[in-house]
């Protein structure tokens, strides 16, 4: 998997919230996260759009995009971690300076609603982004996640990249990874930020949604001809769906509407023990 990011003590990293702002009551968790990053020698640069101000947002769309552009423009910052989630990340897409990011790329981390930014950075800047939530370091699986984070991004091992999976159909797939949270990814349909799925591997996961909702989103993907073009599908964890034991319905429907290779993993998604997959990375399974 990707060896693009190698952190060393003394590096600066940015924290930002491009989707809904972080709730103020979560400040102790953010402070704990910063202490952990400091303990491995990282200097944290906090954006001015991190915590909620009024309502859901840490700033208006232009303000959030300006802060993201500022972090990308700062040559001292080695990586940017978005620790937000929610619904509002697509508001900032038109204000991101993709031309500058194409010339000066750096790793951007986020997941869930940040799937819109991960894929926009791929389509508009041809850059790689990391589907991973840094707040896992202060989750119930924090100790294991901290160890895996250090081994992966400081020592160059593959702890967060290598994931267990099983084949639903086929036995091989190869291509550049696109996708993320299925609901948020589909916000991009019909826009210039929506990736061309030709010969790509589509990764999909979800926190919410029972079988009827997930099947509906898969139907939309088929209607925009994604499954006719892509090289394969990686199904991550579908938290609510699997809690109701309805994954078999989704699996059967996807097999019915497509003829492509499919794998299933429980190790990438919204779980606090989740691993990392790189959007824009060429992988072979």
Both 105 and 195 in one domain: the answer is: no
How many other C-beta atoms lie within 10 A of the C-beta of residue 228?
Answer: 13
Q: Is residue 60 part of a domain?
A: yes
Pair of tokens at residue 68: 């993201």
Asked whether residue 210 carries a pLDDT value surpassing 80, the answer given is yes
Separation in Å, CA 269 to CA 47, 66, 93, 136, 259? 25, 28, 23, 11, 24
Say whether both 248 and 278 belong to one domain.
Answer: yes
Number of domains in the chain: 2
pLDDT digits (tens, 9 = 90+) for 109-168: 999 999 999 999 999 999 999 999 999 999 999 999 999 999 999 999 999 999 999 999
**Domain annotation covers residue 27:** yes
What lies within 8 Å, CB to CB, of 31 at 6+ separation is none
Do 49 and 107 belong together in one domain? yes
Rounded to two decimals, the pTM is 0.95
Buried b (16+ CB within 10 A) or exposed e, 95-110: ebbbeebeeebbbbbb
pLDDT digits (tens, 9 = 90+) for 35-88: 999 999 999 999 999 999 878 999 999 999 999 999 999 999 999 999 999 999
| Structural domain that includes position 215 | 166-284
118, 231: one domain: no
CA-closest candidate to residue 119, choices 184, 70, 206: 184
Burial 112-142 (b: 16+ CB within 10 A, else e): bbbbbbbbbbbbbbebbbbbbbbbbbbbeeb
What's phi and psi for 133, nearest 5 deg?
Answer: -105, 115
- Cα 151 to Cα 35: distance, rounded to the nearest angstrom: 18
- Evaluate whether residue 222 is within a structural domain: yes
pLDDT tens for each residue of 175-202? 999 999 999 999 999 999 999 999 999 9
């Amino acid at each position: 998997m990707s060896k693009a990011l190698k952190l060393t003590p003394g590096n600066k990293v940015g924290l930002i919230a491009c989707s809904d702002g972080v709730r103020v009551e979560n400040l102790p968790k953010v402070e704990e996260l910063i202490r952990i990053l400091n303990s491995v020698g990282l200097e944290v640069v906090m954006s001015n759009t991190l915590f909620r101000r009024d309502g859901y947002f840490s700033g208006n769309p232009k303000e959030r995009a300006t802060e993201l552009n500022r972090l990308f423009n700062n040559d001292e910052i080695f990586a940017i971690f978005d620790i937000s989630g929610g619904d509002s990340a697509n508001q900032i897409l038109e204000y991101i300076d993709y031309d500058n990011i194409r010339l000066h790329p750096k790793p951007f981390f986020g997941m869930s609603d940040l799937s819109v930014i991960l894929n926009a950075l791929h389509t508009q800047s041809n850059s790689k982004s990391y589907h991973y939530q840094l707040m896992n370091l202060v989750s119930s699986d924090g100790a294991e996640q901290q160890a895996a984070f250090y081994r992966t991004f400081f020592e160059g091992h593959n702890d967060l990249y290598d994931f267990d999976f099983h084949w639903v159909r086929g036995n091989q797939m190869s291509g550049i990874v696109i996708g993320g949270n299925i609901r948020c990814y589909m916000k991009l349909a019909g826009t210039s930020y929506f990736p061309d799925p030709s010969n790509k591997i589509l990764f999909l996961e979800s926190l919410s949604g029972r079988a009827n909702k997930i099947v509906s989103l898969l139907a939309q993907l088929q209607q925009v001809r994604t499954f006719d073009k892509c090289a394969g599908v990686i199904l991550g964890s579908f938290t609510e769906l699997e809690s109701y034991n309805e994954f078999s319905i989704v699996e059967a429907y996807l097999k019915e509407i497509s003829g492509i290779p499919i794998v299933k993993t429980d190790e990438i998604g919204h779980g606090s023990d989740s691993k990392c997959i790189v959007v824009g990375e060429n992988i072979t399974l």
